[in-house]
Amino acid sequence: MTRALAQHFGVLRAVLRRMFASKLAGFLNILVIGIALSLPAGMYLLLQNAQGLVAQLSGTPQISLFLEMDAKADDIDRLQKQLAQHPAVAGVDFVARAQALEQLKQSTGLSDLISGLEQNPLPDAFVVHPKPGDAQSLDALRGELAKLPRVSEAQLDSAWAYKLEALLKFGRMGVLILASLLSLALIAVTFNTIRLQILTQHDEIEVTKLIGATDGFIRRPFLYFGATQGLLGGIMAWLIVNASLLLLNHQLGALAQLYASQFTLHPLSIGDSLSLLLFSIYLGWIGAWLSVARHLSQIEPR
């Protein structure tokens, strides 16, 4: 076990020496990979922060339940208990008819005209605060609540929710397309880098095969090279994203003060950071594996 680990670490040290044999070239390769990975990662991070900001500004939509005019106090109590126990409901506010009429007077400025009405035309109502969810789930909840006993009508202003969801879906699709294209480009870069290494070590590989080395033994340093280059590129991308975030937050702080806001851009979470690094390792490994599978089989001892 110890000997096997020592062999792997030995291969890894040789890979790092080869990678930085020309320090400038090695750094530039890692920088290119880091910049390419930072673009979709940065867009994803901005999208996550924008989603939080819009949700904070807009709030969760409310569902207004208007009761039948002849609803009794017992009916209202039963309905309030049902709403409070609903798993998709975060909170419920009851608005009595008299309270609603008073609010209407204050908001419209037509108190004299409203006072002249013979009777209150407004029904009792509940204002339901749903738990966060997408537009479809909110619509489904509105339809469910509309069927409750003594409910005359249920209204949900979901237009903004649909617009927000459509915008976020568009942004996610843009990030996915960009990430896919850049991933293919990075695989191609690693593929070509490994191909050049195989060509430069053609004679060495032939000799190694002559003395009985297995394909797995010969393949290992190239796979390590691709995975290590991908990892270092992922670390570079993480540094670029966080450095850019610091600069943006510095400028955003002055802007937020003008609007009396404390909004700041949040960095990548630990889970997202690990996903970025693992994804970059995978891209480097798969590029190296494809190149080795394509070119190593063409080298046979003479």
d(CA 9, CA 213): 19
Q: Extract the tokens encoding 248.
A: 């943006």
Q: Would you tell me how many other CB atoms lie within 10 Å of the CB of residue 287? A: 26
Q: Residue 161's pLDDT is what?
A: 60
Per run of 10 residues, the mean pLDDT along the chain (length 302 residues) is 61 66 78 89 83 60 80 81 84 75 56 54 78 74 83 73 72 86 86 80 70 70 85 92 84 62 76 91 89 72 58
Domain ranges of the chain: 8-57+163-298, 62-156
- pLDDT per residue as tens digits for the range 77-136: 888 888 888 888 888 888 776 666 565 555 555 554 555 555 666 677 888 888 876 667
Amino acid of residue 184: L
Helix (H, G, I), strand (E, B) or coil at 274: helix
Q: Extract the tokens encoding 142.
A: 């509105």
Q: Would you tell me how many other CB atoms lie within 10 Å of the CB of residue 205? A: 19
d(CA 136, CA 144): 12
pTM of the model: 0.64
Q: Which of 182, 239, 230 has its CA nearest to residue 15?
A: 230
* Residues 6 or more apart in contact with residue 291 via CB below 8 angstroms: 190, 191, 192, 193, 194, 195, 198, 222, 226
Q: Residue 237's pLDDT is what?
A: 92
Q: Which residues pair with 67 in a beta bridge?
A: 151
* CA 186-237-11 angle, 5° bins: 65
> 158 to each of 34, 87, 134, 139, 299, how far by Cα in Å?
40, 20, 10, 8, 64
Fold type of domain 62-156: Alpha-Beta Plaits (3.30.70)
Q: Extract the tokens encoding 42.
A: 């940065």
**Burial letters for 8-17: b for 16+ Cβ neighbours within 10 Å, e otherwise?**
eeebbeebee
> 214 to each of 206, 211, 217, how far by Cα in Å?
12, 9, 5
Q: Residue 274's pLDDT is what?
A: 93
Q: Residue 235's pLDDT is what?
A: 92
Please check whether residue 146 is in contact with residue 68, taking contact to mean a CB–CB distance below 8 angstroms.
no
* Residues 6 or more apart in contact with residue 14 via CB below 8 angstroms: 221
Q: Residue 258's pLDDT is what?
A: 56
**What is the number of alpha carbons within 13 Å of residue 172 lying toward its C-beta?**
8
